Amino acid sequence: MTLEPAFQVFLGDCRSRVEDALDRWLPSEKTQPLRLHQAMRYAALGQGKRVRPVIVYAVGQALGAPPEHLDGAACAVELIHAYSLVHDDLPAMDDDDLRRGRPTCHKAFDEATAILVGDALQTLAFRVLSSDTATPLNAEQRLAMVSELAHASGSRGMAGGQALDMEATGREIDLAQLENLHIHKTGALILAAARLGAIAAGRGQTEDVEPLERFAKCIGLAFQVRDDVLDVEGDTEVLGKTGGKDAATDKATYPALIGLDAAREMTQTLVQDALDGIRGFDDRADPLRELAHYIVGRQC
């Protein structure tokens, strides 16, 4: 898809900033334990859409925060996402060989190392939130960020969603069950990214946050529906991961449940709902608006 020039610049700046932050916080691959540190950097750096950090930056900008106050939150949420991908790809989970166009962490290293990589990336995320000095937060705000990310990552969020996904594999579930699954598996961390951006901007409890949360919930679900569609019609080389895997493993997906055309239509409806929710924001929220279109138009 063709992106607006201003959004291309914003996207590039966000990705560059979070990549720099990740590089600073991740242990050097020249320090012990060498293999673990090399694998951590392999899993977290390089390729990636960085959608969750971009949401942190876009929400923060909409609320008037400078980008340097958002780097820690953006880094932390991406570390959680990277950990989740490493663990999701393991043979005991989705058993994938390809991620972001290269071998998955357990293929490039080994299964035991990949498990430790996920553990280490997850704990590093909370170290960043608790000790990043570039974000001028008081103790209460910092604790709120830690609590938010912990909730979104655990059994009431992403990990719980993965459990529901595994339970649904090979079974018939209804639309409400599928939506609940993805609200947890994908949506929880996207919503947390928006909330972290608001807290980092010093606006975690203001009335401005509610429409931004609604926006994040809508695009979180739209992101997953688009992922389901791409698994059906996308090319493995473009996707950077194995296409057709959902059908091959009898996963519960929107195209399987409501059909491909209805799934495409659903993404458009969700994006419109997201955009309607932030109508009252000025042009500082334009990156959020462009991000919504990007999510449903992406090819990987």
Looking at per-residue confidence, does 168 or 237 come out higher?
Answer: 168
We find that the CATH architecture of domain 5-297 is Orthogonal Bundle (1.10)
Give tens-digit pLDDT for 34-46: 999 999 999 999 7
Q: Over the chain, what is the mean pLDDT?
A: 93
Give tens-digit pLDDT for 73-100: 999 999 999 999 999 999 999 999 999 8
Looking at per-residue confidence, does 67 or 242 come out higher?
Answer: 67
pLDDT at 238 over 80: no
Those residues whose C-beta lies under 8 Å from the C-beta of residue 104, and which sit 6 or more positions away, are 86, 89, 96, 97, 98, 114
pTM to 2 decimals?
0.94
Give tens-digit pLDDT for 101-143: 899 999 999 999 999 999 999 999 999 999 998 888 999 999 9
Banded pLDDT at 4 (limits 50, 70, 90):
confident
- Euclidean distance between CA atoms 125 and 118, whole angstroms: 11
pLDDT of residue 247: 77
Residue pair 26/40 in contact by the 8 Å Cβ criterion: yes
Question: Which one, of 62, 293, 17, 82, lies nearest residue 197 by Cα?
Answer: 62
pLDDT of residue 208: 79
Q: To 10 degrees, the CA torsion angle through 100, 103, 107, 111?
A: -10
Looking at per-residue confidence, does 219 or 249 come out higher?
Answer: 219
pLDDT of residue 101: 84
- Euclidean distance between CA atoms 175 and 13, whole angstroms: 38
